[in-house]
Each structure stands twice: as C-alpha cells, then as structure tokens.
Amino acid sequence: MSPALFVELLLGGVVVGGLYALMAFSFSLILATTHVLNVAHGVFMVLGAAAATLLVRHVGVALVPAFVLVATAFLVLGTLVYMALVRPLGARPPEQILVGSILVTFGLALAAEALLGFYWARLIEPQPIFALAPRVASLSLGPVVVSGPRAVALLFTAGAVAVLHLLLVRTRIGKEARAVAQNATGARIIGLEPSRVATAVLTVGIMLAALSGAVFVLAIPLTPYEGLRLTMIAFTVSAAGGVGNLPGALAAGVALGVAEVFTGYWVGAVWSPMTSLLVLFGVLLWRPVALVGGAGR
C-alpha cells in the first residue's frame, strides 16, 4: 500500500469515525442522564440525512441554510419525542425506563424507517439514496489533499466537539447534565430538575444525531434502512469509549471508523459493517457492564 493511499484511507476513517463519535456521544449522554436507550438514534441520523438531501437536492436550498433548517427542525422534533415518549415514563425506576424506552424507540425506529423508505420511493425518487454532492474546493495540506466534503465534515466534527465540551464544562445546564449522569439522586437532593436536564439532553442529542447524518452524507451516502445499523454503532462506541464520556467516544468512534475503512479495503466492503459488531462483542465480553456503568466524566 502506498503511503498516499494509506493516508487517504486513514482520513476517510477519521471523517466517518468523528461523525460516529458525535452521534454515539449524544446517544450515550441521553442514556446516562435519562436512562432512555434510544434505539431510534441511528434513525434520526438517517432522517437528518434525508431532510438535508431533500432541502439541498430537491428544493434547492444552499448547504449552510439547509443545515441550519435541519438543526432547527430536529430540535423541535426532539422536544416532541421527549413530550410524547419520554415524559410519560416519568419518575419510574431506571430499569423500567430503560426497558420501556427500548420498546418504544424500537417501534418508533421501525415505523420511521418504513415510512421514510415508502414515501421517499413514492414521492421523490424510486431508489431512495441520501447524498449531498456539494461543490466545495479541496484542501491541500502539503502532500495530502483533503476533498472538500471531507474537509467540511472534519471541520464540523471538530467544531461540534468543541461546542459540546464547552456546553458541558462551562454552562449551568451542561454541569447539571453531568451531575445527573454521575449521580441522579444527588442531583435531585440539591434541587436540580431531572426533567429540565432530560429535555435539554434529548432535544440537543436528537438534533446532533440528525446533523451528523446530514454531514455524513457529504462523504458517504445512506439509505433509509441503515438507522438500526447506526444505532448499533452508537452502542459499540458508547460501550468502548464509556457512557457519557466525550474524549472516550471520540477515540472509540475514530478507531472504529478507521477499522471499518481498512477492513473494507483489505477484506471487502461487505465486511466493514461486521467490524463494529465484532468490536461490540469484544467489548461486552471484556466489560459486560460497559453500557450501564459510571458516566458523565
């Protein structure tokens, strides 16, 4: 393998992995603060990709306004999901919320996938594929050339990680979210409102998943039925990187993205989705409580 190809593949892995990390971190922060295991999380990523594709390719909105619209729409959708599906679970014990949320969001995921696939094929194009092909100039960093879409994806990931970090470390609501993730009882005792934190984390988390999806299809196309596979990736990254742990999610996401790309190159593209499942098996064998352990670092 030539060094140029190696760098090319590595970069591709980092781009994909960074977006996996963002999506997985929002998934695990929701899990840590609300005990909601959002099986539909990957589906929101696909829905974000679909919404961006619709706006850019079929309505003719420019890329940046389209992303702003997607973010706004999914903040609203996230609030609705919270009010319709999560708030009714109320102050039940965590195990009941966990199990209840798996069932409810699994149903939501299946319904959303089916509706999206069906109506997109019927109303927009017969073979639904979500992809954006923006004309963005490529970036030259010495001998390495980064394609425009990849550069946008990398910038988006870096920006989103920085914003998330600042939100969690500097703002009151971010600190409240970390407190609830680390010790929900302690948080209630000092008068924090878990429902306030849950609303914020769930809406921002769903918005982030959708936005990651919109950016994802700058580099790699998605189809309507990939949501649950992406949720499994969120699982894997959260288990490997630690629930509610941003640096951990970033490391695990990037490692997984790179592993997928190299598996695809060496073994064959059909095998790359297997990578995340093998990693998940490995992590769960090594640390069976990975998904329910401590959180919110």
Partner 1 sequence: MEEPAVVTRGLTKRYGDLVAVDHLDLELHRGEIFGLLGPNGAGKTTTLRAIHGIVPAASGEIVYAGRRLHGLSPAVRVRLGLGLVPEGRELFPAMSVEDHLELGFVTGRGRRLAEARDEVYTLFPRLAERRRQAAGSLSGGEQQMLAIGRALMATPALLMLDEPSLGLAPRVVDQVYDTLAALNRRGLTLVLVEQHVYEALALAHRAYIMTSGEITLHGPAAEVRERPELRTSYLAV
Q: Contacts with partner 1 in 191-230 (CB under 8 A)?
A: 191-193
Cα angle at 8 between 131 and 223, to 5 degrees?
20
Q: How does DSSP classify residue 288?
A: T
Task: Out of 187, 200, 201, 240, name the contact with partner 1 by CB under 8 A.
Answer: 187
For 87-189, list the strands marked E by DSSP: 139-141, 144-146
Instruction: Answer yes or no: are the C-beta atoms of 214 and 48 closer than 8 Å.
Output: yes
Q: Helix (H, G, I), strand (E, B), or coil: what is residue 117?
A: helix
Task: Out of 65, 94, 134, 186, name the contact with partner 1 by CB under 8 A.
Answer: 186
- Closest distance of CB 44 from partner 1, Å: 28
Based on the shown chain and the rule CB under 8 A, indicate whether residue 296 belongs to the binding site for partner 1: yes
Based on the shown chain and the rule CB under 8 A, indicate whether residue 183 belongs to the binding site for partner 1: yes
Q: Contacts with partner 1 in 161-180 (CB under 8 A)?
A: 172, 175-176, 178-179
- Closest distance of CB 244 from partner 1, Å: 10
Task: Out of 127, 142, 185, 285, name the contact with partner 1 by CB under 8 A.
Answer: 185
- DSSP per residue over 175-222, as a string? HHHHHHHH-HHHHHHTT--HHHHHHHHHHHHHHHHHHHHHHHHHHS-B
Q: What is the Cα–Cα distance from 152 to 31, expressed in whole angstroms? A: 29
Region from 5-13, 142-150, 187-195, 264-272 binding partner 1, contact rule CB under 8 A: 187-195
Q: Helix (H, G, I), strand (E, B), or coil: what is residue 225?
A: helix
Which CB atom, from 95 or from 193, has the smaller least distance to partner 1? Answer: 193
- Closest distance of CB 177 from partner 1, Å: 11
- Closest distance of CB 188 from partner 1, Å: 5
Region from 82-90, 154-162, 184-192, 215-223 binding partner 1, contact rule CB under 8 A: 184-192
Based on the shown chain and the rule CB under 8 A, indicate whether residue 117 belongs to the binding site for partner 1: no
- Closest distance of CB 90 from partner 1, Å: 12
- Closest distance of CB 290 from partner 1, Å: 17
Instruction: Answer yes or no: are the C-beta atoms of 269 and 221 closer than 8 Å.
Output: no
Q: What are the backbone angles phi and psi of residue 289, rounded to the nearest 5°?
A: -100, 15
Instruction: Answer yes or no: are the C-beta atoms of 86 and 198 closer than 8 Å.
Output: yes
Q: What is the Cα–Cα distance from 4 to 168, expressed in whole angstroms? A: 38
- What's the alpha-carbon Rg for the chain, to the nearest Å? 19
| φ/ψ bin of 268: left (φ > 0), alpha (ψ from -120 to 50), beta (otherwise) | left
Which CB atom, from 221 or from 294, has the smaller least distance to partner 1? Answer: 294
Which CB atom, from 97 or from 168, has the smaller least distance to partner 1? Answer: 168
Based on the shown chain and the rule CB under 8 A, indicate whether residue 237 belongs to the binding site for partner 1: no
- Closest distance of CB 200 from partner 1, Å: 15
Based on the shown chain and the rule CB under 8 A, indicate whether residue 294 belongs to the binding site for partner 1: yes
At 270, which amino acid appears?
V
Contacting positions for partner 1 (CB under 8 A)? 172, 175-176, 178-179, 182-183, 185-193, 294, 296-297
